[in-house]
Amino acid sequence: MARQERQNGWCVYYLKKRNKIQRIGKGPYYHSEDDMLAYLENRYGKRRYWTNFSYVGPFYNEEDAYDVEDEAIERYKRGHGGKLPPYNRARGGGGGRSEY
């Protein structure tokens, strides 16, 4: 694999399995989808509980990315009876903020 390009701000990503969200998170933004995939596979393993992903960004301020992540998690919870995405519970979610 080619050397990963440098991070260009922050993004909010959605790990999915059969297009159902499994995890919402914040991380580095890469212009290349291959580099983003390499980052996610390095962080979460080679698709144990996810098969595809999407992401939004870049956000040049990390706090902006936190805000978007928080809103995405809240929107998910509103549509799923107040429950977090399945794998946000396991790793903390919300950028490590205590309420998640």
Query: How would residue 4 be classed by pLDDT, with cut points 50, 70 and 90?
Result: low
Greater confidence (1 vs 61) lies with 61
pTM (predicted TM-score): 0.82
The 10s digit of each residue's pLDDT in 46-63 is: 888 899 999 999 999 999
Sequence-distant contacts of 24-27: CB under 8 A, at least 24 apart: 24/69, 24/72, 24/73, 24/76, 24/85, 24/88, 24/93, 25/69, 25/88, 25/91, 25/93, 25/95, 26/62, 26/65, 26/66, 26/68, 26/69, 26/95
Q: Where are the domains of the chain?
A: 10-92
Mean pLDDT of the chain: 86
Query: How would residue 8 be classed by pLDDT, with cut points 50, 70 and 90?
Result: confident
